[in-house]
Amino acid sequence: MSRMFISETVRALFISIIIFVSSCGNAVSAGADNKGFISENEFTAHTKGEMGCVTQQCHTQFLNGREFSHGPVRTGTCIVCHSAKEYPNRYGIVPDQGAVCAGCHEKLDRKIKDSLFVHGPVKNGDCSSCHDPHGSGRSFFLRESYSGLCSSCHNLKRMYSGEFIHQPVRDGNCGLCHDPHASNYASRLNDVGANLCVICHEDMVSGMTKEFIHAPLVKTGCNDCHDPHSGDNRTRLKTSADKICFNCHEEKKNEISQYTRKHEPVEKGNCVSCHSPHFSDNRYLLLDKVDSLCFSCHKDSSTWKKKRFQHGPLVQGNCSVCHNPHGSDNPYILRLSFPHEFYSTYMKGEYDLCFNCHKEALVTTEKTLTITNFRNGEINLHMLHVNQKKGRTCRACHDVHASDQEDHMREEFAFGASSIPIEYIKTETGGKCIPGCHRERGYDRGRMVDNTK
Ligand code: HEC
Ligand code: HEC
Ligand code: HEC
Ligand code: HEC
Ligand code: HEC
Ligand code: HEC
Ligand code: HEC
Ligand code: HEC
Ligand code: HEC
Ligand code: HEC
Ligand code: HEC
Ligand code: HEC
Ligand code: HEC
């Protein structure tokens, strides 16, 4: 780009010289009538810079006829910039125009000198690549419309390559984000990170006060994910929505890829169906409280909330303590193992899911007066049912989510195509069960019930 920039300048210079010489030539021929250059000598002296260029007859076009005219030009003090004597080949302009302009524009000059990032043409003192130093039809004496100005040196095609162009860019309002001269932020941005964007995206301002803000927004703003100029999708994400999270969360990518069962929305890369990429009132940037989030897709499950009894973790809305929302090697994306059948040969470890919170002694102690209430006298009925070759699994009796029966006893059990009802009656000291498949059986912690009768 800088090569193109140099050649453009040289060309502009060359053309200007031709115009300069020919316009002065006209002045000579008209000079005799219009009190212009009286003699050949006077004209030569003018071009050599031995005389000021404030010869009104020669350059009247600079003094009027422009909508926006520069102060010193209006007053005819051409001399502050032109000193033909010193630089006769550059219309008497010091090579570093910046130095000339700095004399009057001290504030801007100080800003340029104090800034970490100075724009190429400004650094080169080439102020007139953007400004016509005399005046122009545009405010700030710009030579071109804002975007036209920038595209005279920058290849905006690359910037506009995506189908979706950000509106301020399409409108050529580069200056809303970039300072044309200098700034302390890379790419000479007007402000840091998110501030740059929230001036227009006001709805994001309130979000920035939420309890949980995604780290990149605080660190770098919005550019890690969004291209500020253009892109291939509506939100101009730098990487497609189903992959962008893995740019930084590689550990999650590796973790998920290892699971034999992946939760469907995760498998589809739809992370934003559960997480906000920006901010949230909920931990882990979740779009909603965990259970409401799950129920938003698992609509049938929301009926659990209407049941009389809900299992402890459900009361807390904590589905993810048992389910890994991303995936797992266990059925039902459960974090730990839990047999899904009616019968299962007891093995240590297979009920890890439950014994994460409950005591394993529940199924390993034959006789007890303390470990469980599900006992007949001192016989532990949990051990009796579960810990054997053809053991009943927990889900044979309990519903892990919610139930209208006490002690989370399930109301029915799916058996083939039909379902068998289970009626559980709790007493002060025990209980009895009338399942659809066999006769009533009971237990009592004080006086053992004889079920053989
Ligand atoms: C604020 C500084 C400044 C003032 C004041 C100024 N000029 Fe210039 N002038 C320049 C610069 C810088 C250039 C070189 C422009 C370029 O690089 O394209 C220039 C170029 C010119 C040129 C040659 C190219 C062209 O644009 O035609 C003429 C002629 C000229 N000036 C005449 C004048 C006259 C006459 C006045 C006073 C009425 C004047 N200038 C006042 C800065 C100034
Ligand atoms: C002799 C003092 C002087 C010099 C030298 C000078 N300027 Fe100015 N400039 C002014 C004044 C005074 C104004 C105030 C606005 C007006 O009346 O044009 C101004 C206004 C401007 C503006 C418009 C600012 C606005 O807020 O509208 C621009 C752009 C500008 N100058 C650029 C330049 C450039 C580029 C140079 C060097 C090539 C330069 N000036 C050199 C005195 C100067
Ligand atoms: C890349 C194009 C570009 C270059 C090069 C450039 N300017 Fe500007 N300048 C602008 C634009 C665009 C504005 C309009 C105001 C804005 O958006 O900040 C402006 C505004 C100004 C203003 C008025 C507002 C202010 O910030 O004070 C002055 C004075 C000025 N420029 C002077 C200069 C001087 C002196 C130089 C050279 C050292 C220079 N400019 C180089 C594009 C440029
Ligand atoms: C909404 C704010 C915004 C607008 C409007 C904007 N930019 Fe940018 N621009 C940025 C940001 C932010 C960066 C830094 C990009 C990054 O770090 O990924 C940047 C970087 C750049 C870069 C350097 C890096 C690159 O991608 O080559 C150029 C050149 C550039 N912008 C030119 C322009 C031009 C020209 C316009 C107007 C047509 C414009 N910008 C409009 C925000 C903006
Ligand atoms: C006269 C040619 C020229 C014009 C006109 C021009 N630029 Fe540049 N720009 C350059 C050059 C040369 C560089 C590379 C040197 C550098 O990094 O500053 C550059 C670099 C940049 C950069 C990235 C580098 C940085 O500073 O971090 C941005 C952003 C940029 N320009 C934006 C703009 C915008 C916006 C405009 C329109 C107001 C514009 N440019 C007009 C020549 C130009
Ligand atoms: C000058 C105001 C302005 C600034 C500054 C601005 N934007 Fe925008 N942005 C808009 C407008 C207007 C739209 C809507 C355009 C449309 O709907 O096509 C938009 C749309 C968007 C969209 C797409 C939203 C959607 O639902 O389609 C994203 C993403 C976006 N901007 C991000 C950013 C980022 C990131 C920044 C900071 C680098 C930023 N914007 C700075 C004005 C701005
Ligand atoms: C970690 C990546 C990331 C960061 C950082 C980020 N975004 Fe987004 N943004 C996204 C994703 C992904 C979407 C698409 C969400 C969707 O499709 O539902 C999006 C969507 C948007 C939208 C469209 C409307 C919406 O809310 O869905 C706007 C506007 C937006 N972002 C602006 C911003 C602004 C402004 C910032 C900086 C304050 C920012 N983004 C920072 C990833 C990010
Ligand atoms: C530019 C890098 C980057 C991108 C892209 C990114 N993140 Fe992050 N994310 C981070 C950083 C840094 C943290 C904070 C450090 C950490 O906890 O790992 C974080 C934290 C998080 C957290 C909170 C972790 C916790 O323990 O509290 C979640 C959830 C998250 N990101 C989800 C996403 C999702 C979903 C996406 C895609 C829309 C995404 N991230 C894209 C960098 C990124
Ligand atoms: C079905 C909803 C859902 C989807 C889809 C989802 N997550 Fe999560 N994610 C969660 C929940 C819920 C948590 C909190 C886990 C907890 O409570 O332990 C979480 C936690 C996280 C965390 C922080 C804690 C941790 O486990 O490391 C990161 C990072 C994360 N998710 C990234 C992602 C990424 C990346 C994607 C897309 C591949 C994604 N998530 C898809 C629901 C989801
Ligand atoms: C964006 C929609 C969506 C959200 C949110 C969601 N799921 Fe899912 N989930 C699905 C889809 C789709 C399937 C696969 C079809 C099915 O089994 O219903 C699925 C399947 C499941 C399965 C069965 C998995 C298997 O391998 O058999 C469980 C268990 C599950 N989800 C639990 C949850 C939990 C817990 C949450 C909240 C953390 C949650 N889901 C949030 C869409 C979602
Ligand atoms: C105590 C552990 C635990 C908690 C907490 C838990 N689940 Fe489950 N979930 C399971 C088990 C075990 C299964 C396997 C099916 C069964 O045994 O009934 C399952 C199955 C599922 C299924 C698929 C089959 C079905 O019954 O529809 C969905 C969907 C589901 N859970 C959603 C949720 C949601 C939503 C929450 C939070 C409101 C939640 N789970 C909380 C253990 C739990
Ligand atoms: C044959 C049916 C049945 C099976 C199988 C069963 N339970 Fe129970 N469970 C009960 C009954 C009945 C109660 C209520 C005892 C009372 O309060 O009278 C109970 C109570 C409980 C309690 C409350 C504390 C206590 O022990 O009184 C927990 C915890 C519990 N069961 C966990 C489990 C776990 C874990 C499994 C699987 C390893 C399981 N149950 C298997 C019938 C069963
Ligand atoms: C995250 C901890 C946690 C996990 C894991 C867990 N539970 Fe519970 N469970 C509780 C809490 C807390 C209570 C007490 C509140 C209540 O009655 O639901 C409870 C109570 C129970 C009760 C009823 C106790 C009574 O006195 O009525 C049964 C039955 C039960 N759990 C079975 C299970 C089974 C079966 C599993 C394995 C699938 C399991 N739990 C996994 C926390 C957990």
Cα 222 from Cα 318, distance rounded (Å): 32
Distance 169 CA to ligand 2 centre (A): 27
Question: Residue 260 — very low, low, confident or very high, per pLDDT cuts 50/70/90?
Answer: very high
Residue of minimum CA distance from atom 43 in ligand 11: 322
Task: Give the number of C-alpha atoms closer than 13 A to the C-alpha of residue 149, restricted to the C-beta side.
Answer: 21
- The answer, yes or no, to whether any atom of ligand 12 lies below 6 A from the CB of 394, is yes
Among 52-61, 193-202, 405-414, the least confident range = 52-61
Query: Does the pLDDT value for residue 251 go beyond 90?
Result: yes
Give the tens place of pLDDT for each residue, 434-452: 887 778 899 999 999 998 8
CA distances from 77 to 20, 56, 59, 86, 134 (A): 18, 11, 12, 17, 11
Pocket test for ligand 3, best of 73, 140, 178 (most atoms within 8 A of CB): 140
Q: 19-32 pLDDT, tens per residue?
A: 343 333 333 333 33
Protein residues with CB under 6 Å of any ligand 5 atom: 1-2, 5, 117, 119-121, 129-130, 149-150, 152-154, 174, 178, 180, 186-188
Question: What angle is formed at CA 304 by the lines to CA 301 and CA 305, rounded to 5 degrees?
Answer: 120
Residue whose CA lies nearest to ligand 5 atom number 27:
187
Band of residue 56 on the pLDDT scale cut at 50, 70, 90: low
215 closest CA partner among 272, 274, 270, 279: 279
Contact (Cβ atoms closer than 8 angstroms) between residue 167 and residue 174: no
Decide if pLDDT at 14 tops 50: no
Least confident of 1-10, 47-56, 153-162, 230-239: 1-10
Residues 6+ apart with CB under 8 A from 150: 156, 172, 174
Instruction: Say how far apart CA 117 and CA 284 lie, in whole Å.
Output: 37
Longest Cα separation, the chain: 141
Cα of 401 from ligand 11 centre, angstroms: 6
pLDDT of 256 higher than 90: yes
Please say whether the beta carbons of 214 and 285 come within 8 A: yes
Does the CB atom of residue 249 touch ligand 8 within 6 A? yes
CA quadruple 249, 251, 254, 259: dihedral, nearest 10: -100
Do residues 37 and 15 make contact, with C-beta atoms less than 8 angstroms apart?
Answer: no
Residue 147 near residue 174 (C-beta atoms within 8 A): yes
Residue 208: C-alpha distances to residues 214, 217, 281, 346 (Å): 10, 9, 11, 52
Angle CA(5)–CA(190)–CA(236) in degrees, nearest 5? 80
Number of residues written out for the chain: 453
148 token code pair:
């036209």
Q: Whose CA is nearest to atom 24 of ligand 3?
A: 140
Of all residues in the chain, what percent carry a pLDDT higher than 90? 59
Rounded Cα distance, 219 and 341, in Å: 50
> Which of 311, 285, 324 lies closest to 402 in space, CA to CA?
311
pLDDT above 90 (res 214): yes
- Which of 248, 251, 290 has the most ligand 8 atoms within 8 A of CB, as the residue to mutate? 248
- Which among 274, 308, 286, 261 is positioned nearest to 406, based on CA atoms? 308
CA of 217 to the centre of ligand 8 (A): 10
d(CA 104, CA 106): 6
Q: Is 159 left (phi over 0), alpha (psi -120 to 50) or beta?
A: alpha
Cα 60 to ligand 2 centre (Å)? 19
Instruction: State how far the Cα of 161 lies from the Cα of 190, in Å rounded to an integer.
Output: 24
User: From the alpha carbon of 69, which atom of ligand 2 is closest?
Assistant: 18
- Taking the centre of ligand 5 as the mean of its atom positions, its distance from the CA of residue 87, in whole angstroms, is 27
**CB within 8 Å of 450: residues ≥ 6 apart:** none
